[in-house]
Structure 1
């Protein structure tokens, strides 16, 4: 068996791989970079798949690829599934091939959670949603069929429901909350959030979990836990991901809600780093956490790439996350949990800040249609020990 060597090898072909390759090039202009990806597309901008590609006519498909190979010289191997990592030998097995490396980055992300239904359509009428291929299939369905069910009321589910209904699809959104967004927003804001969807024509089935059902070439039948049945021409799952830690576990790396890394994004094994959705890292403001959002993928990927090339720098960025539906955009830093105490500071009916407190200490900040305030939100969280409840509202205007 022949072995291909790369000075820097990246397992995973998402946005982390792109920014890591660019980070490597900031330090190492000539070292060889390999990217092993089980995707069918080279790295691309993932948020557009549930946002701009549906709602912005000027954001065309040619803006989706990131140009990783052209810009960095990385050798990208698509449709390549890694099956084992041997850190002591500094080798990776993938589809019958062996790749050796000088440094290794695990950017394996996660796999979307599938629905508990029998799918006889081979994924044609029952989709998960994570890749560009998933987007192309759902976009095709949106043009072909009348009614699509979306399961999941989180970021992806709500964005997909908004995208579909704005493209003329009869859309039903099934979620487990009493009100859409009630797991993260204060009650009155969740009501306003759900109203955006109802006013746009989305049928909302609340307090419901899909327990079974089936899909075939003619459509989907979803059995809910309460015994109700929802029928649609197709169904798409927006239930989040299962973190892909199997390779790390098999290689003996420390795993605990993700691959555990230190401040430089190094794993417990020499020569191996991890970044992105899969990495549990020590945030300098918020403490150890794992973040599944694009800002973290971009910033952490770059930091990991620089460190693969020898920079030995701590990752000091505290990421934000965001969503955009029906003309509103909300951003957040830290922990958003509706079970926490909140202090709301509304600038006007459409713009405001919500502070989330745990034991009277700010642990999260929600920016609702408030622009250019992410650094201010980070400052509030960094100074949480010096801020009392009486100091809120006020810090962000």
Structure 2
């Protein structure tokens, strides 16, 4: 029984040891075997010598215990210096002090370390610090030092350390990029804007200017508030693409003063600044007046309660309201995608307002080449103006468009081709029958990839491909927009809702003669604004006026047009030889007025008193001056007066008659184009 109990104790100890890690188990087994050495016990069947043997066993066990208790004192060994070298492997660890167990004496494995696979010993790495590499390290250090010294000397030379300080230093003019004019917000806060006014005009362009003049004419004490998102008082847009480029005095250009073709100077603003009163004083002034809140935008209208809301939520109540928000230049898809690159975006310009003019003007001064995309009115006018201005400085001007010739959507093909030759004579590199299909930036240049496979490298590009009416107010205000023509839908009195009127580029009106239309020209803005202002003061006049427009390709070629002028319609042209008097410059010199829509009142009706015969087209096809009739169902619906001026009232009368003419040559005589 004693042996069985003893074996069970050893089994329990062994199980606890096996639950530990291999190293700990190894150590514990050694300690346990040392600890559990019991004195030898001898058993004998005979009692004679058995007692003696037992006594001898006890004596031996006691002697072993005494021997174990008398352990020798520890003596520290002397430490020898160890040579530490980065490539010398570390010395082996000292032998373990645990007692050694022979595997032969123990049937069970004494340790669990034998079960673990032994890792293969890798050969020692090659040492880079051997004696043979010392010379290579020294050479490398010398080379690095020489390189640092050379770089230091080069830097000192670059900053001019070795220059002769006695010599005067050469000053180099560095062109600083002109900062854009900061937007103006006047008054500074919306709280200074009246919260209730009799007349509210949204938009600060030509239509609003014509409207408040009509309101003040009908009601001299009227109090009119104009809210515009621009930073300027109302101004004229046509000179921005024409006469403003022919003023050589830069100081005058900065003041927005332009020269007409006859040399007389004129300011771009309709009225001087002191004409307007401050917004804070509008309601206090007994005589009324016109106040302009600049830098503010109306975002919503409550047309039932007649309340306009600004972008900050400020509310303005009104009795009568006019929307004349104008239009925004279009951006072609290929340029819109390319302008995600800031380098390209900086070189692509739009052209509509004063800010655009100033930006393009500065860019043109710094450029050697520029491209104008678009072949309509604006694109052709800008191309001629920039080419004439940059001729002395040998600047290159490109004009790119998909049509066959300049103003190909308006003029018949033969006249469009002739006009393109005139534009080329002004110094413009016209690239027709193509379009831009790709834009990229290379080495500081704008690269335009064309549909015909060619590429044009320029410093800047101007987009002049039409406009879109500003109708953002429509959705939030419950107003209707024409899905095809764009613009707010209005009736013949230019009303969109009760007490709400629309005028200018953003109005889609009903023409009793020509149907639903939308027009984007200066004269249309003037006439619709004036009519809206008259109706806002109690009038009920319908819009039956046929507005005109004009364009000048420099001082020598110009035209006026009225009605529907579309190159897809059948046309009949009657031409005559032009004289020196048949130019835009000559007519402005004679009348003193550059805004051609104002000349109608000064026209001298010629009638059909002349008996001059029609001049046939010569072999050179020199379309010096003439009349082009546009027909729809054999009825004249549009007329272009090519280098013929002061005859617009006659053209208006021809359209009003709505007649079918057997011989349009006879009708052309009414314009007196054959006079010497």
Q: TM-score, normalised by structure 1?
A: 0.93
Q: What SS does the corresponding residue of 1:193 show, helix, strand or coil?
A: helix
> Which residue does 2:528 correspond to in 1?
300
Instruction: State the alpha-carbon separation in 1 of the partners of residues 668 and 526 from structure 2.
Output: 31
Asked if 1:396 is matched to 2:676, the reply is no
| Mapped contact 2:206–2:235 kept (Cα < 8 A) | yes
Instruction: State the alpha-carbon separation in 2 of the partners of residues 214 and 190 from structure 1.
Output: 31
Pair 1:175–1:124, CA change in 2 (3 A): same
Instruction: State the alpha-carbon separation in 2 of the partners of residues 243 and 233 from structure 1.
Output: 30
Instruction: State the alpha-carbon separation in 2 of the partners of residues 75 and 110 from structure 1.
Output: 23
Give 5+ residue unaligned stretches, structure 2: 1-189, 258-266, 277-288, 578-622
Asked if 1:111 is matched to 2:328, the reply is yes
* Equivalences for residues 170-249 of structure 1 within 5 A: 170-214=396-440, 218-249=444-475
Instruction: State the alpha-carbon separation in 2 of the partners of residues 7 and 212 from structure 1.
Output: 51
> Which residue does 2:636 correspond to in 1?
362
1:271-318 superposed Cα distances (whole Å, 9 cap, x missing partner):
110000111123354333111000111121111112222223223321
> Which residue does 2:269 correspond to in 1?
65
Asked if 1:345 is matched to 2:574, the reply is yes
> Which residue does 2:511 correspond to in 1?
283
> Which residue does 2:537 correspond to in 1?
309
Task: Using the TM superposition, name which of 86-95 and 70-79 deviates more.
Answer: 70-79
> Which residue does 1:87 correspond to in 2?
303
Instruction: State the alpha-carbon separation in 2 of the partners of residues 387 and 381 from structure 1.
Output: 12
Instruction: State the alpha-carbon separation in 2 of the partners of residues 14 and 215 from structure 1.
Output: 36
1:260-279 superposed Cα distances (whole Å, 9 cap, x missing partner):
22222111x11110000111
| Mapped contact 1:43–1:68 kept (Cα < 8 A) | no
Q: What SS does the corresponding residue of 1:338 show, helix, strand or coil?
A: coil
Asked if 1:376 is matched to 2:650, the reply is yes
- Per-residue deviation at 1:106? 0.7
> Which residue does 1:42 correspond to in 2?
233
Q: What SS does the corresponding residue of 1:74 show, helix, strand or coil?
A: strand
The number of residues matched between the two structures is: 396
| Mapped contact 1:284–1:318 kept (Cα < 8 A) | no
> Which residue does 1:75 correspond to in 2?
291
Instruction: State the alpha-carbon separation in 1 of the partners of residues 400 and 637 from structure 2.
Output: 30
| Mapped contact 2:344–2:440 kept (Cα < 8 A) | no
> Which residue does 1:53 correspond to in 2?
244
Instruction: State the alpha-carbon separation in 2 of the partners of residues 242 and 332 from structure 1.
Output: 22
Asked if 1:146 is matched to 2:146, the reply is no
| Mapped contact 2:228–2:294 kept (Cα < 8 A) | yes
Task: Using the TM superposition, name which of 213-222 and 104-113 deviates more.
Answer: 213-222
- Per-residue deviation at 1:144? 1.1
> By percentage of residues, which structure has more strand?
1
Pair 1:24–1:226, CA change in 2 (3 A): same
- Per-residue deviation at 1:346? 0.9
Pair 1:113–1:252, CA change in 2 (3 A): same
| Mapped contact 2:636–2:660 kept (Cα < 8 A) | no
| Mapped contact 1:361–1:388 kept (Cα < 8 A) | no
Q: What SS does the corresponding residue of 2:574 show, helix, strand or coil?
A: strand
- Per-residue deviation at 1:68? 7.1
Instruction: State the alpha-carbon separation in 2 of the partners of residues 159 and 89 from structure 1.
Output: 45
Pair 1:163–1:289, CA change in 2 (3 A): same
| Mapped contact 2:301–2:477 kept (Cα < 8 A) | yes
Q: What SS does the corresponding residue of 1:304 show, helix, strand or coil?
A: helix
* Equivalences for residues 317-332 of structure 1 within 5 A: 317-326=545-554, 327-332=556-561
Asked if 1:262 is matched to 2:479, the reply is no
More contact order relative to length (CA 8 Å, sep ≥ 6): 1
Pair 1:216–1:380, CA change in 2 (3 A): farther
Instruction: State the alpha-carbon separation in 1 of the partners of residues 306 and 443 from structure 2.
Output: 46
> Which residue does 2:213 correspond to in 1?
22
Give 5+ residue unaligned stretches, structure 1: none
| Mapped contact 2:375–2:408 kept (Cα < 8 A) | no
- Per-residue deviation at 1:389? 4.8
| Mapped contact 1:248–1:255 kept (Cα < 8 A) | yes
Instruction: State the alpha-carbon separation in 2 of the partners of residues 41 and 125 from structure 1.
Output: 25
Among 379, 385, 392, which residue is 1:163 paired with?
A: 385
Q: What SS does the corresponding residue of 1:385 show, helix, strand or coil?
A: coil
- Per-residue deviation at 1:375? 0.9
- Per-residue deviation at 1:328? 1.1
Asked if 1:99 is matched to 2:316, the reply is yes
Pair 1:198–1:122, CA change in 2 (3 A): closer
Question: Which entry has the higher C-alpha Rg, 1 or 2?
Answer: 2
| Mapped contact 2:375–2:405 kept (Cα < 8 A) | no
Q: What SS does the corresponding residue of 1:330 show, helix, strand or coil?
A: strand
1:31-83 superposed Cα distances (whole Å, 9 cap, x missing partner):
32111111122211100100111135598624011127644632212221222
Q: TM-score, normalised by structure 2?
A: 0.56
Instruction: State the alpha-carbon separation in 1 of the partners of residues 221 and 446 from structure 2.
Output: 52
Task: Using the TM superposition, name which of 244-253 and 210-219 deviates more.
Answer: 210-219
| Mapped contact 1:69–1:75 kept (Cα < 8 A) | no
Pair 1:205–1:122, CA change in 2 (3 A): closer
- Per-residue deviation at 1:181? 2.5
Alignment root-mean-square deviation, CA: 2.3
